[in-house]
Structure 1
Amino acid sequence: MWSGDELDLGAYLARIGLGEGSGAVGELRPDLPTLYAVHRAHTAAITFESLDVLLGRPVALDVPSIEEKLVHGRRGGYCYEQNSLLAAALERIGFEVTGRGARNRTRGDALLAVTHAVLVVTVDGEEWLCDAGFGHQGPCEPVSLARPGADVEQGKWTYRIREEADGVLALSMLRGETWRDLYAFSPQRYHPVDYVVLNHYSSGHPRSSFVGRVVVQRPGDDVRRALVGRELTTLHPDGSTERRLVEPDDLLTVLDREFGLRLPDRDAAELVGMYRAGD
């Protein structure tokens, strides 16, 4: 399903800090400790970013292309790339992995199309939501789908799955004293070919939130950061936020320091030029 046989698993594990000799995880098995370890390491190591969309580069979803970019090139990617890579790795380890299409709910009451890709992984008969591609607000660990309504604490951050009508499940995040929906998804299974269609919209349609602006985000244990357009937002576990504008001369420094992201010289120069032209 996810072309896990095409993935260089050793290179992927080294990229996320679980390589041989790291001591971060023992023998890889399709069990819950391995699922937690891989999910945590992936979200910590690989930045959420859609800079190729802004630069007009094609976003390929075949495993060799994703591996070349996110693993060997040490770039980041957005949900289709991130979760396709995670799915290939988990499948290669021996997990049962299926896809879902989710509807973003972070923009108030606006009804948005299904454009977000998530994964459901089954371990010992229990389904777990896995998502390495929702940016700075997304979960850093798997979330059980078997206990709707239960608080799920991930360090200083808290999530909850809520069950709605027609089998729809919604993921919420606690921001201060308020629960805020992140996205909702139905039981319908999605396949890699479905993500190709969603990717086509997200990478090229003029109404896509990724077209025409910088989007770089990263979850973290203590704070979560997002650079959207020119605004750098820092989110704290108590729900408070800090915002500041990033000037063109500071862009590459911010990408490196705050997001661990370094672009090839040609892409970096082109990105700064586009960023500056937006003044």
Structure 2
Amino acid sequence: MTEHDDGTGRRWDGGLLDLDAYLARIGHTGDLSPTPETLRALHRAHVLAVPFENLEVLLGRPVLLDLPALQDKIVRGARGGYCFEHARLFAAALERLGFGVTGLSSRVGMGSDRVRPATHAVLRVETAETPETGRVWICDVGFGAGPLEPIGFADGAATADSGWSFRLERRAAPGAPPGAGEWTLRERRADGGGWLDLHTFTANPQYAVDWVVGSHYVSTHPRSPFVRRPVVQRTGPDVRQALHGTTWTTTVRTDGSRRERKLEPHEVPKVLEDVFGIALDAEDAAALAAVLERLPADDGPAEVPAG
């Protein structure tokens, strides 16, 4: 049993993390003390370095959330992952560095009023200053198109970067007892499209085993967007790159302008490597191209969103 494993499954296996390798993967060379400044730097570095991707699902392999598997894939293999993978790895790193970490599960809405399944993972994080200041943070490293830095866990807390702004709001939960509020992360589009509700969560703690259940759902449910087409995103300081199916979209953060290109299936592996930093071997590249060849021409959004 390690220093960061109490045998109950309530912690994040920080003691198992190859910290030096993780820091090299995300390019962080700064301070490691559990302060808000370090948290912001780590969050930004992780989001910029590690892409969002669901390729294992399409290649017929299970998505594993144990820390050794995540290190092999994301840290040593220089791959990306979807929200549960990102949040699980980031939680281990923060725990290792002395931050207080609580997992949360969120419902991705993207503007819809329908109740969606809780298929997104975020973190509630305390720093060394929290006992004195009471200030707590929400870290959302695995949304794919979320904030570059943590956002304060407080009604009206906001963060802005390169023209895109995010805001956290607390709202009454419909049909719930008084005081049972929900928290919604909202994004203000740089193109003037107004505010969009991205996902909604409560403060109910979630553990690694809960995320295993959620991950299994989004990687196997027939209506999940992750089981039928690539969903790949990479955030840069000034642009977002996204691949949905065979459509490659570049969005400029400063003004919200978009450029789209439809790729041929055989072009996708090279774009994954050159643009998203995901290098597939020849066998996986061929298997992915075969999946893309089978996509219907009108392949649109699935009904079960995932973060």
State the TM-score, normalizing by the size of structure 2: 0.85
- 2:119, 2:55 → 1: CA distance? 18
Confirm or deny: 8 A CA contact 1:156 1:221 kept in the other structure.
no
Correspondences of 1:149-188 after superposition (within 5 Å): 149-165=156-172, 166-175=180-189, 176-177=191-192, 178-188=194-204
1:205 lines up with 2:221 in the alignment: yes
Give the equivalent residue in structure 1 for 2:20: 10
Give the equivalent residue in structure 1 for 2:45: 41
Pick from 257, 275, 278: which aligns with 2:292? 275
In structure 2, the residue corresponding to 1:164 is in which secondary structure? strand
- Code of the aligned partner of 2:290: G
Per the TM alignment, residue 269 of structure 1 is displaced from its structure 2 partner at its CA by: 1.7
- Code of the aligned partner of 1:245: K
In structure 1, the residue corresponding to 2:227 is in which secondary structure? coil
Deviates more, 1:172-181 or 1:186-195: 172-181
The C-alpha deviation readout for 1:88-113, integer Å capped at 9, x for no partner, is 00000110000111000116334311
Tell me which structure has the larger Cα radius of gyration: 2
Correspondences of 1:105-120 after superposition (within 5 Å): 105-106=109-110, 108-120=112-124
- Code of the aligned partner of 1:12: Y
Q: Unpaired segments of 5 or more residues in structure 2?
A: 1-10, 173-179, 297-307
Per the TM alignment, residue 263 of structure 1 is displaced from its structure 2 partner at its CA by: 1.3
Per the TM alignment, residue 220 of structure 1 is displaced from its structure 2 partner at its CA by: 1.8
The C-alpha deviation readout for 1:151-170, integer Å capped at 9, x for no partner, is 42123321111111122111
- 2:116, 2:43 → 1: CA distance? 27
- 2:104, 2:207 → 1: CA distance? 8
In structure 1, the residue corresponding to 2:119 is in which secondary structure? strand
- Code of the aligned partner of 1:221: P
Pick from 148, 151, 168: which aligns with 1:143? 151
Q: How many pairs does the alignment contain?
A: 271
- 1:141, 1:132 → 2: CA distance? 8
Per the TM alignment, residue 150 of structure 1 is displaced from its structure 2 partner at its CA by: 4.2
Per the TM alignment, residue 194 of structure 1 is displaced from its structure 2 partner at its CA by: 0.3
Confirm or deny: 8 A CA contact 1:151 1:159 kept in the other structure.
yes
State the TM-score, normalizing by the size of structure 1: 0.93
- 1:73, 1:234 → 2: CA distance? 25
- Code of the aligned partner of 2:55: L
Confirm or deny: 8 A CA contact 1:104 1:116 kept in the other structure.
yes
Pick from 243, 246, 265: which aligns with 2:260? 243
- Code of the aligned partner of 1:52: E
Moved over 4 A (4+): none
C-alpha change, 1:73 and 1:212, in structure 2 (3 Å) is same
- Code of the aligned partner of 1:268: A
Give the equivalent residue in structure 2 for 1:21: none
Give the equivalent residue in structure 2 for 1:95: 99
In structure 2, the residue corresponding to 1:152 is in which secondary structure? strand
- 1:101, 1:250 → 2: CA distance? 35
C-alpha change, 1:150 and 1:31, in structure 2 (3 Å) is closer
Give the equivalent residue in structure 2 for 1:75: 79
Taking only the aligned residue pairs, the percentage that are identical comes to 48
In structure 2, the residue corresponding to 1:57 is in which secondary structure? coil
- 2:126, 2:161 → 1: CA distance? 20
- 2:283, 2:52 → 1: CA distance? 20
Q: Unpaired segments of 5 or more residues in structure 1?
A: 19-23
- Code of the aligned partner of 1:189: P
- 2:158, 2:39 → 1: CA distance? 20
- Code of the aligned partner of 2:197: D
